[in-house]
Structure 1
Amino acid sequence: MAEHPAYPVGLRLSGRHVVVLGGGQVAQRRLPALIAAGADIVLVSPEATPSVEAMAEAGEITWQQRSYTEGDLAEAWYALIATNDPGANAQASAEAERHRVWCVRSDDADRATAWTPATGHSEGVTVAVLTTEARGRDPRHTAAIRDAVVAGLRDGTLVAPHHRTRTPGVALVGGGPGDPDLITVRGRRLLAEADVVIADRLGPRDLLAELPPHVEVIDAAKIPYGRYMAQEAINNALIEHAKQGKSVVRLKGGDPFVFGRGMEEVRALAEAGIPCTVVPGISSSISVPGAAGIPVTHRGVAHEFTVVSGHVAPDDERSLVDWPSLARLTGTLVILMGVDKIGKIAETLVAHGRSPKTPVALVQEGTTAAQRRVDATLATVADAVRDEDVRPPAVIVIGEVVRVGPGPAA
């Protein structure tokens, strides 16, 4: 058999009897894929790892807690032999051969009738990489090829054109806090497949430079207190391009639904009959403090954190925030879009019970190369913003967690 290459094929195991011999690390790695394939799995092993045992307790597999005996493979369609007993492995492999059961052996691939490829998944596609010759098999090499292909499909660097007609629509993509590497895998793939991208200023701009020349990029330019594209105009642009049969990505900073007006766009698209996919993003409310060395919660320090929009002052009649209640909380307070209102916010919190010595950190341009951190207290934060010329976008963290980490870089 070693003179001929393996024949690649996909097995449809749903509802079919599969036997796994051995409950160790090999079974622990292979069982999830067999479970996902819908196989009727019987595990034969005296012992199992905690993870494999949990699969049995959950009813995902049937565990016969004993050693292999002749006849275990008689009714199987597929078998995985992975015990630590070479004699039992050889005996089971011989039984599989007699019953014409395709059999994988973890201890001796050359004597197996089937090999397990290195597999990965990307949006409905399974990538399987298989060494075609028994001699010189290098599992690490095949796994590296698998990883490279899957990574390319996921991040859009390896683009396979769709030959079936795509359903036009809009993907509402959260781009994360700013670092282009922090967009989700799915978000990056959809961005790579887009015909039109409508981007916010706070979206990861570096990703736009990677787009092919044919992609139309529309700058929503939602600059605070500056030039902006009205929300209605954004909604209309999304609808117009989608109705032209184009794949549209609305690229937003952070997460679309965290002070991002994402639901307004979803509603407008629904009313126009345009299908919309929402791709969550990493919110700056937790990622930016983390990047600056500040945990929003910490054992013995803060058991909760609250995220608040600071785009209107506490004494503004438009404010929906219960500032007196926030002042009484002992956990972490994270404020977005509040740089120019932080003086008034700090005064209000102190007036309602927060100590003026409460530590405050302002993290500007978080997760990007321009990130910087300014530390202060509620009593001094207004002066710190002015003296240090802190500008948006900046995330403000208020609470004792500010002192937990190593502090700002020297």
Structure 2
Amino acid sequence: MRQRLTAVGAALLAVAASVLISARPADAAVGLHIDGESIVEANGQPFIMRGVNHPHVWYQGETAAFSDIKALGANTLRVVLGSGKRWGPSTDVADVVARCKQNRLICVLEVHDTTGYGEEGAAASLDEAVDYWISQKSALAGQESYIVINIGNEPIGNTDAAQWTAATTAAIQRMRQNGFEHLLMVDAPNWGQDWQYVMRDNAQTVLDADSLHNTVLSIHMYAVFSTAASIVNYLDYFHARGWPLVIGEFGWHFADGEVDHETILSEANARGLGYLGWSWSGNTDPILDMATDFDPARLTTWGERIFHGANGIAATAREATVFGGQPTTPPTTPPTTPPTTPPSGGACTATYRVIGEWPGGFQADISVTAGPAAISGWTVTWTYADGQTVSQAWNATVTSNGAQVTARNVAYNGSLGAGASTSFGLLGTTTGGTGSPALSCAAA
């Protein structure tokens, strides 16, 4: 739930040099985990969250929501729980996890009692949230492939937001000391919106606190993010440093201003970022409801938009492979056609590699490398010869004209130093093979 901000910063963020965090080795992963900026499953398959929030703690009888949300295409459900400090306590965690698994949904479990701590007098501290997770450990152990633990919702308000860094660091360390190996999610302060940039400026400290390097940062986007520039600049900052990030909550129309939800959706899709919209139903401000009275047959304008609109859930969600979803990483047998790499020496070169294939579909990764001089933009073109078509892409703007495909850099990956590389990915369908085409790369 949202509380109106008392102050909102409007400065644009500057993008600086990249500082990459180390990922937990894949062979040490017990479930969902971080690989660079991405969330991947235990088997190495990328997983991009596409889902919504469900206010379970206040509407425990609305259990049909799990199947209703899945039927609309979601692959993830963020479930609101209570620690007992303000709501709950939620003692049905095992049942919640079972319902998520039954409906083939990755479950993000969050303690809501921490909302606005420091400004909201009744709020629980992150330390109290960890106490709750420890009390529920028996229901969580062994579920690392199916759940993410969002330690505390919007854990600091606008009062002394700087306390977020120490409190979040301590919470992560306590979770690990108590044997939790799950992927952890941590929300920003300022009621989740980070308008004072505390999370932005201290993210590396928090990520380094995790002995398993298995924490993802979460930003909540409401009235602070009312313009495309505010959204793009914030996301650029995290990408430039290689930090894992999801949009753990966002709305559309909101009391203090309009949320630029169209840019949130399009940027998340282009960048391969997970998003979880707020919320399914039951809001005191019904403009944020996606379904009227929890009825999936009565979707609101917001519900229709997030589930069925451009860059929405139905168009972009892929079910986790742990539930049988199609693979999106290399198959057990290598592609029959080797990668193609144009001769070096030009302004830029590009390499196309098929990294996953299944009946009627495939995933490809394309690397772009600058030549002996820096470039400020790039365009990669190719022509498919085996009946392939592109259905989805990230980290590039991809257009098709029949078998001819053109991929152009997006705002954050066009400038490359001499010899530097970037990459983009795509999903496609095929009526024939998945052979790698010859690529042409032109630099701006």
State the TM-score bracket (shorter-chain normalisation).
under 0.3
User: If each structure's strand is expressed as a fraction of its own residues, which one has the higher value?
Assistant: 2
The structure whose Rg is larger is 1
- Structure 1 length as normaliser, TM-score? 0.22
Structure number with higher relative contact order (C-alpha < 8 Å, ≥ 6 residues apart): 2
- Structure 2 length as normaliser, TM-score? 0.21
